[in-house]
């Protein structure tokens, strides 16, 4: 579904990615883990074509480096939930979910509300009145109405209390069960291990290595390496 090979990326003259390679098969979830500033968000931006890159980015087997973001997203059915959720603060919950959606596709709202029933009674409220967890649900609902094949998720648990994070990951599990392919950025390695199929450690703009989430020894090694670089990257194992 998605393959990055020796990808480099820049913000103006500042190089943020030096060598990122990863592979994500359809229906699977790959979690990018690593310290603050390692390049996880930048990797998502590179996949979306939001910043200049070099190296190979293949989506559904097709070279995508030259495709503009809008075309990339449309052609390959990509939806993204960005860090900070990217909601439009002046709009209602309903407007946030359907923004950009053609009117004849509004019935997809029902599908999204099946997944996030807590939003049903809040549709007409300003999105800012919702709790952080509910706002994250709005951001996810907005992605779901796109009926994506590939979902890019940047730190869905950021700033949320542990109980709410459990709830959000419960919703994400339902999305996974539907066969959606996911590229997830998650600072909490234990959480990433419990949710994803594979973990890819990003360090100083490089993909250090990828391990299967069910390989305990490999995940421990990855944690040690991440931990040795920055203690904040590590959360205690449950």
Q: Within 33-72, which residues bind ligand ATP (CB under 6 A)?
A: 34, 36-42
Q: Which is nearer to ligand ATP, 14 or 124 (CB)?
A: 14
Q: Which is nearer to ligand ATP, 13 or 66 (CB)?
A: 13
Report the side by side order of strands in the sheet with 62-63: 62-63, 53-59, 2-11, 14-24, 206-212, 198-203, 29-33, 181-185, 150-154, 78-81
What angle is formed at CA 190 by the lines to CA 83 and CA 50, rounded to 5 degrees?
A: 25
3-state secondary structure of 26: coil
Q: Which is nearer to ligand ATP, 87 or 202 (CB)?
A: 202
Shortest distance in whole angstroms from residue 26 CB to ligand ATP: 25
Number of residues that bind ligand ATP (CB under 6 A): 11
Q: Within 7-36, which residues bind ligand ATP (CB under 6 A)?
A: 11, 14, 16, 34, 36
Q: Which is nearer to ligand ATP, 42 or 136 (CB)?
A: 42
CB proximity list for 56: less than 8 A, separation 6 or greater: 3, 4, 5, 6, 7, 63, 65
Rg (CA), the chain: 17
Shortest distance in whole angstroms from residue 234 CB to ligand ATP: 14
Binding site for ligand ATP (CB under 6 A): 11, 14, 16, 34, 36-42
């Amino acid at each position: 579904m998605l393959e990055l090979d020796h990808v480099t990326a820049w913000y103006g003259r500042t190089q943020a990615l030096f060598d990122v390679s990863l592979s994500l098969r359809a229906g699977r979830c790959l979690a990018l883990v690593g310290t603050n500033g390692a390049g996880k968000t930048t990797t998502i931006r590179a996949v979306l074509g939001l910043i200049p890159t070099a190296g190979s980015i293949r989506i559904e087997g097709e070279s995508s480096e030259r495709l503009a973001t809008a075309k990339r997203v449309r052609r390959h059915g990509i939806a993204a939930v960005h860090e900070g959720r990217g909601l439009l603060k002046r709009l209602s919950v309903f407007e946030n979910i359907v923004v950009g959606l053609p009117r004849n596709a509004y019935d997809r709202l029902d599908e999204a509300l099946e997944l996030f029933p807590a939003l049903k009674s809040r549709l007409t409220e300003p999105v800012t009145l919702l709790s952080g967890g509910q706002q994250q649900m709005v951001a996810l609902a907005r992605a779901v109405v796109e009926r994506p094949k590939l979902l890019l998720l940047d730190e869905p648990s950021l700033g949320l209390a542990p109980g709410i994070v459990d709830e959000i990951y419960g919703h994400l599990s339902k999305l996974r069960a539907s066969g959606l392919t996911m590229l997830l950025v998650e600072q909490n390695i234990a959480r990433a291990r419990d949710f994803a199929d594979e973990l890819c450690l990003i360090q100083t703009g490089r993909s250090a290595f990828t391990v299967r989430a069910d390989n305990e020894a490999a995940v421990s090694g990855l944690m040690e390496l991440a931990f040795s670089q920055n203690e904040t990257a590590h959360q205690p194992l449950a």
